[in-house]
Amino acid sequence: MPPTLDPVDVILEKRRGEAHSRERLAAFVGGYVRGEVPDYQVAAWLMAVCWRGMSERETADLTEVMAASGHQLDLSAFEHAVDKHSTGGVGDKTTLVLAPLVASLGATVAKMSGRGLGHTGGTIDKLESIPGFVATLDEERFMRQARDVGVAITGQSGDLTPADGLLYALRDATGTVASVPLIASSVMSKKLAGGARSIVLDVKIGHGAFMKTEEEARALARAMVAIGRHAGRNVRAVLSNMDEPLGAAVGHALEVREALATLRGEGPPDLRELVLVLATEVLEATGLVAGRTEVAAALDDGRALARFEAWVAAQGGDVSALDALEVAPDAEPWRARDGGVLRALDAERIGLAVARLGGGRRQKGDTIDFGVGATVHTKVGDAVSAGDTLLTLHHRGGRGLEGALAALAGAATIAEAGEAERPPLVVGLVR
């Protein structure tokens, strides 16, 4: 850390509401990564950021400083390197369909992806439910597969944005998570370090999402798109509904099965629709397509399915096992107490129920059960009768079942019969 930088000055500067220069941010964050600035001073600065906020330019500078704190992937050899990020949700298996779909249209998806924590599932965990699938690739194999197959997804390296890892852990411990500049810089630092030139963001809104209101989600989307603009990347954001689970499957093997069905033209309409919107946005951004029709054709004519199978095989997965992924053998129906119209189905409670069956982690490193989960039989706006099965829990001999049923208490809101009102899936776009 340069001897001229006093961390207290940085804290006071932000407490007064002043904007930091890029040089100050680089020195402060770099000093923290090297162990020269202690946690307690960084915690004070994080609280000042939550209180005073950051300008658009300042947030972009912070993000680029964080991205530069560790290894950065060089994807310049791929003309159309694209990436997709979701802010987290329940039943969100879109990457499993979107990656091979955009690859079948000429894009390259070479990305690092995280594991699930809490009530949301991670893409890497879902992929590991496929027998033989290797989720950790060295960089040489990763780049070779990206070139040969068009899709390579690996677990996130500890060398990628170490500043973000340190800051996120401290934010979690100090109550400073809920800050748009800090959330945006955390997400986008990993996207910038990942090397893709065109990025589509799926910003979730609702009970099962981190951002509970459209206003919050739109602010975050605008902040992340602005970071991309400052960094010279093509970034678009899609605001999507996460009040109820996406699709019908929640749980790792169940979600892979549903992704495969969607690639075969048999999946749920909401999953297909979101995939088409996200794929069209990122492919338009990188200049490969000029509308949805061409994207839908690649999903319907088998090109995306063939690319999915080639991707799974390239990472050691048993393609022949895709139709027989192991699901927990015991089933427990969760029924409607009353008849009427389903007005709400709380995605977060359903995610928590699956986690209590063993399908989620309380802490990083926890072992998860790929076979447990839930199948949702009704969507918001459907008419139901008393006793109808709203969803089925898949469990192993009752392990975690009592806690799962407790998590579901109050998850469904059923009103008197009336005209069905289905909430929009895509709430808005930020470009």
Quick check: is 191 catalytic?
A: no
Identity (one letter) of the amino acid at 236? R
Set 20, 171, 218, 307: catalytic member: 171
Quickly list DSSP for 235-255: EEEEEEE-SS-SSSEESHHHH
Query: Is 138 in the active site?
Result: no
Residue 180, classed as helix, strand or coil, is helix
* Cα separation, 319 vs 321, whole angstroms: 5
Gap between the Cα atoms of 431 and 423, Å rounded: 23
Tell me whether residue 171 is one of the annotated catalytic residues. Answer: yes
The active-site residue, picked from 24, 80, 84, 85, is 85
Helix (H, G, I), strand (E, B) or coil at 234: strand
258 neighbors 267 (Cβ within 8 angstroms): yes
- The DSSP annotation for 201-229 comes to EEEEESTTSS--SHHHHHHHHHHHHHHHH
CB 245 within 8 A of CB 342: no
Q: Is the dihedral of CA 195, 201, 207, 208 positive or negative?
A: negative
* Rounded distance between C-alpha atoms, residue 160 and residue 73, angstroms: 9
CA distance 73 to 367: 29
| Residues 236/225, Cβ–Cβ less than 8 Å | yes
Which residue is catalytic, options 164, 202, 243, 270? 164
164 is catalytic: yes
Token duo for residue 363: 């802490």
The total of other beta-carbon atoms located within 10 Å of residue 302's CB is 13
Question: Which DSSP category does 117 fall into?
Answer: B
Return the amino acid letter for 332.
Answer: E
Cβ atoms < 10 Å from Cβ of 384: 20
Catalytic residue among 24, 93, 190, 257: 190
Instruction: Tell me how far CA of residue 95 lies from CA of 112, 208, 323, 406, in angstroms.
Output: 12, 18, 19, 30
CA–CA dist 98, 94 (Å, integer)? 6
Active site residues: 85, 164, 171, 186, 190
